[in-house]
A and B are shown apart, each in its own frame.
Chain A
Amino acid sequence: MFSFDRQITRTLHEEHLVTISVLERLEGIFQKYGPKKAPPGDSAQITELLGDIINLVACDVTNHFSFEEEKLFPLLGAMGDSPISSILTGEHRVILPLGSLLSELAKMARAEGFNDASWGQFRERGVELIERMISHIQKEEMALLPMLEDILDEDADAQLMMTYSEMR
């Protein structure tokens, strides 16, 4: 687990690391500022974090999920292990819209700053995204990536890596 030999599993794992790092920074901000106290509009730390959230959702999350659903889950289905794909797909259906909403809220906050209402909404959605995403990554790290390590040979790995590079 987490010691991956295939390029594609290493790449997905590295994206998980990036995602967790951004989410932990977000969690830190939520711990610092409560639900009723919007952070100051001139905080460079928050502006940078908002930009990272927008990038994360646009690049890592969206592409990552599409690639899994289009290329990886069919592979698992072919080897008869579809329940975990079904669980992960179900979670994608919730996480992606949630991430998109948070990204939109982040874009608005970068343009106009937070007021108490927008901060409350951003914080509520953000807390939910952190919980859902961490639980989701846990399942992918423990199930999806080790299974891919088992079933992929070098050629299939190279092919998947090329496909994923094109999608990104």
Chain B
Amino acid sequence: MIGANFLSGAGGRLLPPSIPFRYFTAGVIFYAVFWAALFVSADELTSYTMGGGPILSVIHMATLGVLSMTVIGASLQLLSVATRKAFKGFWLCRLVSWFYIPGIFLLTYAMYISWYSGMLMGAGLTGGGLLIFCGLIIHNIWGVTGMAAIMAHCWAAMLSLMGLLSLGILLIVNAEHGFMPDHFALATSHFILAVFGFMTLLAMGFSYILIPMFALSPGPPEGLGRWSVGCNITGLIGILIGVNIYLDWLVIAGIGVIFFGVGLYIYAMSRVYKARMRKRLGLPFILIRISWVILLISAIWGAVGAAGYWPDRGHTLFAAAAIIGWLLTFLMGVLQRIIPFLASMHSSGHGGVPLLTSAMADERLLTVNVLGHLGGLSAVILGIMFDWDMVIRAGAVMGFAGAMGLLIYLMYIIRHLASFRGEKA
């Protein structure tokens, strides 16, 4: 079984709450900023292919600002518990944020106004933070025995992270000086490594821990996870080679292998879901289940594109489905569960009455988040399909409202947690 013994010794390996919660807070703030920036730049979305400008900035607000930011917070907390190896220096976990958060602000601002020197400085800071994060993760998973599937996901994600960082800096330099022959192939490789290499693999890897935990269900068989990650890594390598040496059949074959890997992952997750002890899993699992469906659709749509059958705006639809539909939707579902869970862990075992998360914050705010996110996603997809700026803008408004719901919820939780720990100190 994957993920067994996950919380054993958790009490001793919980990070100080300020570490994961700083990343969650920054991630949710970027989530709101992302929708606001999309509202402002909606008219440029469907015509964008590559290069600097508002849409590049909006994409990185979502990928670096929301997805990677939240993944950093969750990884630092979950891995130290899952591998049963505590991080030795909490200051390094904090140091990541001091580089990473200002770095993204600078990078996305510079992208927005196409300021290349600013992009390089921002990328340097962001990359510095990510390299420290990568070092922390590799140090933590080095030599871990057991949980082979989860560890394979982590290793592949970290290698993808290094690749996408190098390509990202190369893209910025090339955008100004133009020394690389095929900027588009580089940009495509960067996108694939970021969205499917780094973030998707980490999301899938941590699913094997988190979904059974939240659903109170047996973990899936180890073999399923190993086959899935094996297919995904093989497919990813095939796609990257195919894109760069212009072999369409290799790209399609790579997507086919990934489709099989994704299918195995979803089969494993559906087994977990069906075997759950807790039948009522609430709104977060609506988001998570929708995200699994969109992940499959994204893989199919990617194959359609690789075969040359995308209509106009097919690439925009693909990016929106992968980033907003799969990753952001999945992550919002996970965040809605992990925030109260961590708050519960941090408020227990101090000798007082453990805090009740429903008493810390109004849970209707999470409903606002779900409705806003799903409304925003649907409208953005519809707006891209029919090239309707106003519908994309309406979607951005709904998404922003949803993001504010989650942000207010998070602020209430943090305020209660801080005052509770202050009383116990």
Determine if B307 is an interface residue (Cβ-Cβ < 8 Å): no
By the criterion CB–CB under 8 Å, are B278 and A24 in contact?
yes
Known: A83-B10, A131-B357, A146-B5. A1 touches B212 (CB 8 A): yes
Residues of B within 8 Å of A24, CB to CB, are 278-280
Contact with B along A127-139 (1 / 0, CB 8 A): 1100110110111
Interface size on B, residues (CB 8 A): 36
Bound CA span A17–B212, Å: 15
Taking a contact as CB atoms under 8 Å apart, the answer to whether B8 and A81 are in contact is yes
Taking a contact as CB atoms closer than 8 A, the residue among A83, A128, A150 that contacts B5 in the complex is A150
A contacts with B: majority SS:
helix
The verdict on A86 contacting B356 (CB below 8 Å), with A2-B217, A17-B277 known, is no
Question: Bound state CA distance, A24 and B212, in angstroms?
Answer: 18
Closest chain-A Cβ to B243's Cβ sits at a distance in Å of 39
Are the C-beta atoms of A3 and B1 separated by less than 8 Å? Answer: yes
- A131 near B358: Cβ-Cβ < 8 Å: yes
For the complex, is A68 an interface residue (Cβ under 8 Å from B)? no
The proximity string for B residues 347-371 relative to A, scoring 1 for CB distances below 8 Å and 0 otherwise, is: 0111111101110000000000000
Contact of B348 among A91, A137, A142 (CB under 8 A): A91
Q: Which residues of A contact B11 (CB under 8 A)?
A: 82-84, 86-87
**Interface assignment of A46: CB less than 8 Å from any CB of chain B:** no
Residue of B nearest to A81 (CB): B9
Residues of A with C-beta under 8 A to B344: 135
Q: Which of B205-237 contact A (CB under 8 A)?
A: 212-214, 216-219
B-side contacts of A127, CB under 8 Å:
358
Alpha-carbon gap, A82 to B119, bound state (A): 49
- Residues A90 and B218 in contact, CB atoms below 8 Å apart: no
Query: Please, which residues of chain B bring their CB within 8 A of the CB of A58?
Result: none
Contact B218 A137 (CB under 8 A): no
Tell me whether A146 and B9 are in contact (CB under 8 A). Answer: no
| Closest chain A CB from B376 CB (angstroms) | 28
Given contacts A1-B218, A135-B344, A137-B216, whether A146 and B349 have CB atoms under 8 Å apart is no
Instruction: Map CB proximity to A onto B1-28 as digits: 1 under 8 Å, 0 otherwise.
Output: 1011111111110000000000000000
Distance of A143 Cα from B345 Cα, bound (Å):
12
- The yes or no answer to A141 lying at the interface (CB within 8 A) is yes
Contacts of B213 in A (CB 8 A): 138, 142
CB distance from B14 to the nearest CB of A (A): 8
Q: How far is it, in angstroms, between the C-alpha of A159 and the C-alpha of B275 when the chains are bound?
A: 30
How far is it, in angstroms, between the C-alpha of A138 and the C-alpha of B215 when the chains are bound? 9
Pair A146/B8 contact, Cβ less than 8 Å: yes
Q: A-facing mask of B260-288, CB < 8 A → 1, else 0?
A: 00000000000000010111100000000
Contact A90 B278 (CB under 8 A): no
A90 CB, min distance to chain B CBs, angstroms: 5
Contact between A142 and B280, CB atoms less than 8 A apart: no
Residue among B3, B12, B349 making CB contact with A90, cutoff 8 Å: B349
Determine if A152 is an interface residue (Cβ-Cβ < 8 Å): no
The docked-state distance in angstroms from the alpha carbon of A3 to that of B1 is 8
Q: A83 and B3: CB pair below 8 A?
A: no
- Residues of B whose CB lies within 8 Å of any CB of A are 1, 3-12, 212-214, 216-219, 275, 277-280, 341, 344-345, 348-354, 356-358
In the complex, the 4 A-B pairs of residues with the closest C-beta atoms, listed nearest first: A83-B11, A87-B349, A143-B7, A142-B7
5 CB contacts below 8 A, A to B, read A1-B218, A24-B280, A27-B280, A91-B354, A134-B216
Interface set of A (CB-CB < 8 Å, partner B): 1-3, 16-17, 20, 24, 27, 81-84, 86-87, 89-91, 93-94, 127-128, 131-132, 134-135, 137-139, 141-143, 146-147, 150
